[in-house]
Amino acid sequence: TQLLEQSPQFLSIQEGENLTVYCNSSSVFSSLQWYRQEPGEGPVLLVTVVTGGEVKKLKRLTFQFGDARKDSSLHITAAQPGDTGLYLCAGAGAGNNRKLIWGLGTSLAVNP
């Protein structure tokens, strides 16, 4: 069974701090997606990484896909209260990308 483990599970920081959250697996994924979910809403796609070693930047967010395509990280620089939310990673297996494997998420609170 493919599993995606996210860490940390919870994170509470002050505005302006940097942070990194991780998404790890023993399985290889053809691609990995990151979503952010705010309370009372559905998850919203942030980025998809496809190539091993790939780095993508979205303003203050930097996403990296591991060389072996088994893990990924999300780094936020100078966090703001608007970054508060649940960050979810989801991996797509090779050959059947209709069913994603989801991590349990990292709940981030950025305090003003």
Partner 1 sequence: DAGITQSPRHKVTETGTPVTLRCHQTENHRYMYWYRQDPGHGLRLIHYSYGVKDTDKGEVSDGYSVSRSKTEDFLLTLESATSSQTSVYFCAIRMTSGTVGELFFGEGSRLTVL
Specify the residue, 15 or 41, whose C-beta has the smaller distance to partner 1.
41
CB of 16 vs partner 1, minimal distance in Å: 30
Contact footprint for partner 1 (CB under 8 A): 30-31, 33, 40-45, 48, 50, 88, 90, 92, 97-100, 102-105
| Rounded alpha-carbon distances, angstroms, from residue 112 to 13, 17, 68, 86 | 9, 11, 37, 18
Beta bridge partners of 10: 107
Least Cα distance to 79 among 106, 105, 52, 103 occurs for: 106
Q: What whole-number distance in Å separates Cα of residue 53 and Cα of residue 24?
A: 14
Specify the residue, 3 or 78, whose C-beta has the smaller distance to partner 1.
3
Specify the residue, 19 or 100, whose C-beta has the smaller distance to partner 1.
100
* Contact yes or no for 1/67 (Cβ under 8 A): no
CB of 17 vs partner 1, minimal distance in Å: 26
CB of 108 vs partner 1, minimal distance in Å: 16
* Contact yes or no for 24/31 (Cβ under 8 A): no
Specify the residue, 28 or 50, whose C-beta has the smaller distance to partner 1.
50
CB of 48 vs partner 1, minimal distance in Å: 5
